[in-house]
Structure 1
Amino acid sequence: MSVSAIPDHLKDLFSFERPIVCALGTVMPSGQPQLTPVWFDYDGTHLIINTARGRQKDRNMTRNAKVTILILDPQNPMHWAEVRGYVDEATEVGGHAMIKRLALKYRGKEEYNLPEGQVRVTYKIAVTKVNGN
């Protein structure tokens, strides 16, 4: 899906200038939904998230590529986007650089204290459907 496929009235929610924490929905082995607040970026084609290898969301997305993401405007909770999609790519390459880019968006500094030995994974989420208000 290209950026033009995101309705104009929702595009602000995807902007790098809007550090909105989104809710990432994945599926547990039991089928139970699992939600996690995460930082995200959008490259015009994919939603991009980053996590530490071995966390629940990492294990869930490795097993089942389907995800749903809710982006809720903190200034207007009736302005939101639900993004449905699937993991198109997962890589450890550049994982540390990506979490620092996200830190710039959310903290204003490209600094992120990584625990020694932590492996970061960047997930590119292909967008299949966008709903919202």
Structure 2
Amino acid sequence: MSPDTGAPRPPSGPAHVPEAARALVAGPHVAHLATVLPDGGPHVVPLWVGWEGDRLAFLTGPGSRKARNLARDPRVAVSVTRTGNPYVMATLRGRVVEVLDGDAGWAVVDRLSLLYTGGPYPRGEERHAYLVEIDHATAPSFG
């Protein structure tokens, strides 16, 4: 059990991520992130994802529902499908191991924004970057 959340801890060390899953996360494909609500139910949102080394990265505001969920329970599940062909997909599970704010966070946020929009992220609202250590990944393809 995790001492801070009571959530089960995954096996130590990151899992092998299939190359097909790495490629989907590296491309500008919209992903869906699942976190755990306070009542134990799922909370799922679409978002941008990318890689920071071997960690999956995404961004959110510090007061968002997903940020509050992750402060309580760092476990996540992510699905991503290829734009234009949802039968090419990847699923990943893991836990948030680092939250970056300030200049370090904005550097990751801007890399994600550049991938998805071609430019830096607007500075109107505070954003943090979340880094996930993957403990399970698959990349089935049905099309």
TM-score by length of 1: 0.86
Which one of 70, 90, 113 corresponds to residue 81 of structure 1? 90
Q: Tell me which moved more, 5-14 or 101-110.
A: 5-14
* Equivalent residues, number: 126
Equivalent residue number for residue 14 of structure 1: 25
The answer on 1:37 being equivalent to 2:46 is yes
Per the TM alignment, residue 106 of structure 1 is displaced from its structure 2 partner at its CA by: 0.3
Distance 1:114 1:12, change over 3 A: same
The answer on 1:63 being equivalent to 2:63 is no
Cα shift readout 1:24-65 (whole Å, capped 9, x = no counterpart): 100100111000111111134100111111000010011101
* Cα distance in 1 between the residues matched to 2:107 and 2:53: 19
1:30 aligned counterpart, secondary structure? coil
The answer on 1:91 being equivalent to 2:105 is no
Contact 1:95 1:119 in 2 (8 A): no
Contact 1:13 1:81 in 2 (8 A): yes
Equivalent residue number for residue 109 of structure 1: 119
Per the TM alignment, residue 73 of structure 1 is displaced from its structure 2 partner at its CA by: 1.2
* Cα distance in 2 between the residues matched to 1:9 and 1:95: 27
1:113 aligned counterpart, secondary structure? coil
Structure 2: segments with no counterpart, 5+ residues: 1-13
| Percent of paired sites with the same residue | 30
* Cα distance in 1 between the residues matched to 2:18 and 2:40: 31
Which one of 40, 43, 56 corresponds to residue 47 of structure 1? 56
2:35 aligned counterpart, secondary structure? strand
Distance 1:8 1:102, change over 3 A: closer
What is the RMSD of the two structures over their aligned residues, measured on CA atoms?
1.5
Equivalent residue number for residue 129 of structure 1: 136
* Cα distance in 2 between the residues matched to 1:30 and 1:81: 27
Distance 1:8 1:122, change over 3 A: closer
